[in-house]
Amino acid sequence: MEHDVTRAETGRVIALSGPRTERNVRKPLHISEMFLKGLPRAARKEQGKLTEGIVPGPMIVRQRGLRFDPRRIEAYRRVCEYESEPGRVPLPYPEIHFTPLMAEAIVSNRFPLSPLGLIHTHQTITLHEPLHAHDVVDLTAELASIRETHRGYEVDFALALDRGATRVWSGVTTVLSRAEEARSGRRRRTRVESAPPRVATQVLSVSRSTGVAFARVSGDWNPHHLWWFTAKPLGYQRPIAHGMWTFARAVTVALRGIDEDMPIEASISFKRPLLMPGRIQIEAPRLESQGQCVPVAVRDARTAAPHVLGEVCALASNA
């Protein structure tokens, strides 16, 4: 999925009044299967428009008994330079296991929008209890809401990860199917989102190999993240970084030294694409106590244009 410049304001909610569908998967979709199933659907659906004859309804996809792979977690930690205690699961890590579950819904005949051109605009993640590298968990991804906005249709997927009967991690992934008017850039933006206070903490280089390295640990091999010759046909002169890699890099700065035994929530909007290679500045005051929230930002090191903006909170224990 790509990344967008501004997050749309709240729009008209579309009632999910169609049939409820539930699916249990044993083996998640591979990226090649996503494209093979998605392309025929895309031929019959248009970006930024609800497909005539499809009444959207709740869609739930589950995967039970997923056993975390400690080697994959450590590889993720290295690629994202995540600083949490070894043996712990980094806060953003579980999200990579939900991508195939959301894809199951998106490439379904019951999904009312084209599976192509979806843009990842916002991500919220909440850690309720610590996760460990050998945990066995159950995952649920649910099509929770659809909103019509001036840019097209925003879709929320509610994500839940349970260890036994306990909810240990949850999140919301928002994607946008842009209307033709928004894709062409003819409509002027009327809303400018204010940036958080600037607190420079790290300046670092993002190598051209970062996209491939993250694809190896995440399974997200979308071509615009990989090489210049796979990104250029999609409108990019250079590959763009995965949004969730940028998310992880921002979060690890805010959480450096924090005890991740406490509940934590991170909420970030994806802004301008991060072209690789490039240089970024990560701005995030350090979290120091329960009940505290700090703003986070990843900006272009030269122009200060934002790539992501958001906040990270150490939730109070009674939250």
CB atoms within 10 A of CB 114: 20
* DSSP-assigned beta bridge partners for residue 174: 122, 156
Cβ-contact 255, 263 below 8 angstroms: no
pLDDT tens-digit profile of 281-300?
A: 999 888 877 788 999 999 99
Question: Over the range 131-152, which residues count as b (16 or more CB within 10 Å of their CB) and which as e?
Answer: bebebebebbbbbbbbbbbebb
Cis ω for the linkage preceding 277 (within 30 of 0): yes
Start-end of H helices in 112-235: 180-184, 210-218, 228-231
| SS3 label, residue 66 | strand
Q: For residue 297, give both structure tokens.
A: 């930002």
Cα–Cα dist 156/105, whole Å: 12
Q: Within 13 A of 264's CA, how many CA atoms are on the CB side?
A: 24
Cα–Cα dist 233/230, whole Å: 6
Does pLDDT of 182 surpass 80?
Answer: no
Does pLDDT of 193 surpass 50?
Answer: no
pTM flag (> 0.75): yes
Model confidence at 307, in pLDDT bands (50, 70, 90)?
A: very high
Does pLDDT of 109 surpass 70?
Answer: yes
| SS3 label, residue 48 | coil
pLDDT tens-digit profile of 128-150?
A: 999 999 999 999 999 999 999 88
pLDDT tens-digit profile of 217-267?
A: 998 888 899 999 999 988 889 999 999 999 999 998 888 867 667 899 999
Cβ-contact 260, 313 below 8 angstroms: no
Model confidence at 275, in pLDDT bands (50, 70, 90)?
A: very high
pLDDT (0 to 100) of residue 35: 63
